[in-house]
Amino acid sequence: MKTKSSPSIDLIFRALSDRTRLRILNLLRTGELCVCDLVSVLDVPQPTASRHLAYLRRAGLVLARKDGLWHYYRLSSARTSFHKKLLECLAECTEVAPVLAKDEKCLRSTARSNCCD
């Protein structure tokens, strides 16, 4: 049953159906990131990253906080067993989607940008 605070299953699956959004979710498994870090790793324009992040927020998969001019994003904690299974599935995706492993490596090897300092 859908409550006012829980997004519909179809919205969640639509959020997961986009490659860029999957890449964002996978990067956020490492912890909270500034939008500038996501832009750098994904090599997309900031408005594109922000649009995808907004979609993930509407789906209840990502939380955001603002600190000065910068927005920071993190995965939302699993509220249901369904959500927990989705996060577990995402963790396994790097084995079958090389771009996800490449993104993680890029994030680790790239010095964090100074945009949000």
In this predicted structure, the answer to whether residue 88 has a pLDDT above a threshold of 50 is yes
Contact 60, 6 (CB under 8 A): yes
What does the pLDDT average to over 81-87? 92
Task: Report, at the CATH architecture level, how domain 9-108 is classified.
Answer: Orthogonal Bundle (1.10)
Measure the CA–CA gap between 83 and 3, rounded to whole angstroms: 15
- Model pLDDT for residues 7-64, shown as the tens digit of each residue: 788 999 999 999 999 999 999 999 999 999 999 999 999 999 999 999 999 999 999 9
Q: Where are the domains of the chain?
A: 9-108
Task: Give the pTM.
Answer: 0.88
- Provide mean pLDDT across the span 60-78: 94
How far from 14 is each of 17, 18, 21, 28, 96, CA to CA, in Å? 5, 7, 10, 18, 20
The pair of structure tokens assigned to 117 is 């300092």
Instruction: Count the Cβ atoms, other than its own, within 10 Å of residue 17.
Output: 9
